[in-house]
Homo-oligomer: A and B are copies of this chain.
Amino acid sequence: MPKKPLILVTNDDGITAPGIRALIQTMNTIGDVVVVAPDSPQSGMGHAITLDSTLYLERVYIDEGKQIEYNCSGTPADCVKLAISEILDRRPDLCVSGINHGSNSSINVIYSGTMSAALEAGIEGIPSIGFSLLDYNWNANFEAAQYFAKTIVQNVLKNGLASGVVLNVNFPKLEQKDIKGVRICRQAKANWVEEFDKRISPQGKAYYWLTGKFVNLDHGEDTDEWALDNGYVSIVPVQFDLTAHYCIQNLNTWNFND
């Protein structure tokens, strides 16, 4: 019997979030699962790592599944680093992060703790996927996401991923029968326009809440936003070499010696 793949599961909503419980359940049908996930929500943590304080790891038993689980006091990126360095006795065959409660499409990839965990595993040379569902509800329905996550994971285990690339997968908020399929996409050129909510504390001090409006002026049919708006699962291959190679030639014409 061939050896089962070793799958590391993490997220940024915290180890008890329904999204990661759904992902663990699905991964248990594919391989041997080890979970290392934050003990509290870490949304919007980007690629933060913990340099100035200590990290705790704790073996936990959350449900009846056959997975082995640890919660961690750190960020999603910390979880991946600790898992690889301190917990797993061999390199995992795959890292999956999520299923996030809420979108990580287009520019959200930059702010996303879910994707930073996936990127961290990618940096360590492990094939890696971040999954997100376009539904912020704690009691969201993850059934369709689980179905497609399984298919996508099986493809990655079979075909591998190019070095330096991880997948950013987003699921529309639809039932499985209404999802048209999977589309490989590019990241839409969209962004958040901030609208800070300014308030005055009981002590008379001004403070702000970050809110904002998502603005997408990029209507290309090859974008993740288009795919999601039109009933598809979006997959964007994401890289952590951030070099804008096409700019190098032009920048070489600048004069830095005057």
Stretch binding the partner chain, chosen from A27-35, A61-69, A78-86? A78-86
Q: A46-B49, A57-B208 are in contact. List 12 more A-B contacts (CB 8 A).
A: A46-B48, A50-B210, A55-B196, A56-B206, A56-B208, A57-B206, A82-B208, A152-B256, A182-B257, A186-B241, A236-B242, A239-B242
**Can you list, as one digit per residue, whether each of A136-163 has a CB less than 8 Å from chain B (1) or not (0)?**
0000000000001001100100010010
Stretch binding the partner chain, chosen from A16-24, A90-98, A104-112? A104-112
- Helix, strand, loop or mixed for chain A's interface? mixed
Q: Please state the number of chain copies in the assembly.
A: 2
Shortest Cβ gap from A218 to chain B (Å): 10
The reply to whether A210 and B49 form a contact with Cβ atoms under 8 Å apart is: yes
Most chain B beta-carbon neighbours within 10 Å: one of A181, A208, A238, A257: A208
The reply to whether B255 and A155 form a contact with Cβ atoms under 8 Å apart is: yes
Does any Cβ of B come within 8 Å of A51's Cβ? yes
Set B86, B207, B247, B257: member contacting A165, Cβ < 8 A: B247
Give A235's nearest chain B residue, CB to CB.
Answer: B251
A185 to B198, CA, bound (A): 42
Shortest Cβ gap from A168 to chain B (Å): 8
Shortest Cβ gap from A23 to chain B (Å): 18
A162 to B244, CA, bound (A): 10
The residues of B that contact A254 with a CB separation of less than 8 Å are 155, 159
What is A's interface to B at a CB cutoff of 8 Å? 41, 43-52, 54-57, 77-78, 81-82, 84-86, 107, 109-111, 116, 119, 123-124, 148, 151-152, 155, 159, 162, 164-165, 168, 181-182, 184-187, 189, 191, 194-196, 198-199, 205-210, 233, 235-245, 247-248, 250-252, 254-258
The residues of B that contact A84 with a CB separation of less than 8 Å are 194
The residues of B that contact A78 with a CB separation of less than 8 Å are 210
The reply to whether B209 and A55 form a contact with Cβ atoms under 8 Å apart is: yes
The residues of B that contact A235 with a CB separation of less than 8 Å are 251
A76 to B120, CA, bound (A): 21
Known: A86-B198, A151-B256, A256-B148. A241 touches B189 (CB 8 A): yes
A194 to B50, CA, bound (A): 12
The residues of B that contact A240 with a CB separation of less than 8 Å are 107, 110, 242
Set B85, B152, B168, B243: member contacting A194, Cβ < 8 A: B85
The reply to whether A54 and B208 form a contact with Cβ atoms under 8 Å apart is: yes
Shortest Cβ gap from A156 to chain B (Å): 9
